[in-house]
Amino acid sequence: MQDEKLTAAHVKELYEKHGAALAAYACCCGLDFAAAEDAVQQIFLRLLRGDTSTPQVPAAYLYRAVRNASLNLRRDRSRETAPVEEETWFVRERGAPEEVLALQAALSELPEEQREVVFLRMWSGLTLKEIADATKMPINTTASRYRYALEKLRERLKPRVAKEPYVES
Amino acid sequence: MSNPDEEMEQYLKEFKPRAIRPLEAEAPSHRFRLRPLAIAAAIGLTAGLSVWVSRREVAVVPQLPREHQAQASAPFTERRMNSFLLTKLALEDNQTFDAVLTEESRKVLPNLQGQGSMLRVLAAE
């Protein structure tokens, strides 16, 4: 897979599509929402300046970049302030706010590689095949990680999922 | 994919990541493209100014009037003396050069003439 420099229009399009999910992902990696926004902005500004080249499927690259930036920021800030416990980085039209907090906690507890697959699949809209290609992992491994992640989330959120079955609008 | 997984996916789809602020693309690339130009302009301006100043100082030296050497040397010596100007003066105009040295020596060496001269002070002692 060949790396390429992105055009400004392409970078903005990626930001529109993945920015919010990347910020949520950064929050799952331990940042507060403001710091997560800053981290995502910095990564996209670097792309705009053409400082870095990205693979043809840049979503996986973006998630890796956000994860690294989050870990660095968290390490730097660990002595300054504690993360905000009740901050939400997901929204839901219906249901109690506690459900958002429960989902956030469940996602934060997932192993890193499983969390990445869930975000890429659920909130960045990639297929399992695309995720496998982008992360350079076999499709079976990718599918297993996804399935294990869903299993763990279901365990954690079981009462809530059972209580409110999703109705397609 | 099995049914429970689909159910879980449907549940997760109800949650949307919180919106973030728009990308602040205040043309940083533009700013970065202008930076080398600004640096080059500053270097050019500095070099031009230094050449202009040095040429101006050199051009002043030969215009010193010979008939008023002692008076004319005063403004000359007010400028910062440097070896280049002194050498040039010594080569081109001996008389002015002597006048400049005399003027400078009065500032540096002890005064042996006049009311408050060192000789008078010693004699009084």
What pLDDT digit, counting tens, does each position of A34-65 carry?
Answer: 999 999 999 999 888 887 777 777 888 899 99
How far is Cα A156 from Cα A164, in angstroms, rounded to an integer?
A: 15
Q: Point out the residue among B7, B18, B20 whose CB comes nearest to the CB of A161.
A: B7
- Provide the pLDDT for residue A169: 44
Mean residue pLDDT across chain A? 85
The pTM for the full model equals 0.59
Q: List pLDDT tens digits, range B22-60.
A: 988 654 445 555 677 788 888 888 888 888 877 766 555
ipTM over 0.90: no
A122 to B21: CB separation less than 8 angstroms, yes or no:
no
Q: What is the mean pLDDT of residues A127-155?
A: 93
Give the CA diameter of chain B: 121
Chain A contact for B105, CB < 8 A?
A: no
What number is the average pLDDT over the span A132-159? 92
Q: If you search the block for the tokens 């905000």, which residue do you land on?
A: A84
pLDDT of B57: 60
Domain boundary assignment for chain A: 8-163
Question: Which of B11, B13, B20 comes nearest A40 by C-beta?
Answer: B20
Quote the percentage of chain A above a pLDDT of 90. 49
Q: If contacts are CB pairs under 8 Å, which of residues 19-78 in chain A contact chain B? A: 19-21, 23-24, 33, 36-37, 40-41, 44-45, 48-50
Beta strand pairing status for B15-17 and A90-92? antiparallel
Task: Give the model's confidence band at B83: pLDDT under 50 very low, under 70 low, under 90 confident, else very high.
Answer: confident
Amino acid at B15: F
Q: How many CB atoms lie within 10 A of CB B48?
A: 10
Domain A8-163, CATH 1.10.10.10 — does that match?
yes
